[in-house]
């Protein structure tokens, strides 16, 4: 039986590596990871994955047409996860966020419709909904059919959302032009080991173990719904491989455990057995007070149901970061 050929852009990143590791487990696929290491990490976990039979890593710039000669063609599944993201990048490098994400996606699509692959999954974001609130009430939990809007185009925060809205538009139009199937996944607050250090959970944990007392918590009254990375990966694979999901958009998240940032900080402190108070502060760059996805469509079409509670996810994640912090200090 021929092996399934899979391409994952951003394969050295947080979700990309976990996705590749999951797909490689049964040995039924040949997996190509594309990474330029602008955000993805060349670490032990990536090296161990790439040492497995049927997994190869290509260090390429997806904005360059010549890169696609090395990638080849004829893939059964293409997961386009590569993107420049992160609040610091959005605020300090808004032009790069817009240019890199848009150019990468356009080049991937040119390659894809010319025969690069059979089906494409595009990784989008909950940030696509952020600006809708400026023009109309936003239902929460938020379903996929909410109109997407961009309002203040001069605000650097609009660049990431704008690049992903462009990506969704481009995927739908390119694929429709040649009759190729696609699926769009909008990720909501995915967390877990190896997610980097510029996200709220690693940042809170780092400051807690470094002895910040009281622990400063920005936007402590804001509500978020966190999704463990393996749940997000399982939903992603189901979206790619479910026939009824073709040409559809799905929220990927966990709608069952909304939590304030203040209570999240307290969970982190309790999980790490740290006795400390918190000090709420106002965040200058976080205007959205509540985010929670409606994942009923994913439940109905994909059979998706988040399995990892926030308490369990923190028990898995925080020891990984404790080891990472210790290695940094040694």
pLDDT in tens, 84-130: 987 788 888 999 999 999 999 999 999 999 999 999 999 999 999 99
Q: What are phi and psi of 111, to 5 degrees?
A: -65, -45
- Residue 283: is the preceding peptide bond cis (ω within 30°)? no
Give the mean pLDDT of 197-212: 95
- Tokens for 245? 């999901």
Residue 246: count of CB within 10 angstroms of its CB:
14
pLDDT band at 21 (very low <50, low <70, confident <90, very high): very high
Mean pLDDT to the nearest integer, 8-22: 97
What residues are paired with 31 via a beta bridge?
6, 55
Task: Quickly tell me which residue has 């590791």 as its tokens.
Answer: 21
Cα(262)–Cα(320) distance, integer angstroms: 22
Sign of CA dihedral 66, 69, 71, 72: positive
Cβ atoms of 150 and 165 closer than 8 Å? yes
Over residues 235-287, the pLDDT tens digits come to: 999 999 999 999 999 999 999 989 999 999 999 999 999 999 999 998 766 67
The span from the CA of 135 to the CA of 28, in Å, is: 47
Tell me: pLDDT of 41 over 90: no
Distance between CA atoms of 22 and 4, rounded to whole angstroms?
Answer: 14
pLDDT tens digit sequence for 216-242:
999 999 999 999 999 999 999 999 999
- pLDDT recorded at residue 192: 98
What percentage of the chain carries pLDDT values higher than 70?
Answer: 98
In angstroms, the first-to-last Cα distance of the chain is 48
The answer on pLDDT for 40 being more than 70 is: no
Beta strands in 76-214 (DSSP E): 77-80, 120-125, 182-187, 190-191
Question: Stretch 133-150: mean pLDDT, rounded?
Answer: 93
Buried b or exposed e, range 207-220, using 16+ CB within 10 angstroms: bbbeeeeebebbbb
Residue 215: partners with Cβ closer than 8 Å, 6 or more residues away: 204, 207, 208, 265, 269, 276, 277, 278, 279
Q: What is the pLDDT of residue 225?
A: 97
pLDDT for the residue numbered 288: 82
Mean residue pLDDT of the chain comes to 94
How far is it, in rounded angstroms, from Cα 148 to Cα 151?
A: 10
CB distance 290 to 130 below 8 Å: no
Q: Record the pTM.
A: 0.96
Cβ-contact 260, 142 below 8 angstroms? no
pLDDT of residue 284: 62
Given this model, what pLDDT does residue 1 score?
65
CA 158 to chain centre: 17
CA distance 22 to 18: 6
Say if residue 64's pLDDT is above 70: yes
């Amino acid at each position: 039986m021929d092996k399934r050929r899979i391409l994952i852009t951003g394969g050295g990143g947080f979700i990309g590596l976990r996705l590749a590791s999951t797909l490689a487990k049964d040995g039924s696929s040949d997996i190509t990871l594309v990474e330029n290491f602008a955000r993805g990490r060349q670490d032990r976990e990536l090296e161990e994955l790439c040492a497995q039979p049927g997994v190869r890593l290509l260090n390429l710039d997806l904005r360059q047409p010549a890169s696609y000669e090395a990638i080849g063609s004829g893939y059964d599944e293409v997961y386009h996860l590569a993107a420049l993201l992160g609040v610091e990048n959005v605020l300090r490098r808004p032009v790069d966020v817009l240019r890199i994400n848009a150019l990468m996606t356009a080049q991937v699509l040119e390659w894809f419709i010319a025969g690069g692959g059979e089906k494409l999954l595009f990784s989008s974001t909950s940030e696509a909904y952020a600006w809708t609130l400026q023009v109309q009430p936003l239902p929460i939990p938020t379903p996929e059919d909410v109109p997407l809007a961009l309002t203040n185009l001069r605000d650097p925060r609009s660049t990431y959302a704008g690049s992903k809205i462009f990506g969704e538009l481009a995927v739908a139009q390119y694929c429709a032009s040649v009759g190729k199937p696609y699926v769009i996944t909008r990720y909501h607050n995915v967390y877990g080991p190896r997610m980097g250090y510029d996200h709220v959970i690693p940042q809170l944990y780092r400051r807690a173990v470094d002895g910040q007392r009281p622990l400063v918590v920005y936007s402590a009254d804001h509500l978020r719904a966190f999704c463990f990375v393996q749940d997000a990966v399982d939903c992603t694979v189901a979206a790619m491989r479910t026939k009824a999901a073709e040409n559809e958009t799905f929220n990927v998240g966990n709608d069952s455990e909304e939590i304030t940032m203040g209570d999240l900080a307290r969970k982190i402190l309790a999980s790490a057995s740290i006795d400390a108070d918190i000090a709420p502060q106002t965040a200058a760059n976080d205007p959205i007070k509540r985010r929670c996805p409606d994942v009923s469509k994913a439940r109905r079409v994909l059979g998706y149901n988040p399995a990892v509670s926030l308490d369990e996810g923190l028990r898995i994640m925080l020891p990984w970061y404790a080891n990472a912090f210790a290695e940094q200090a040694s």
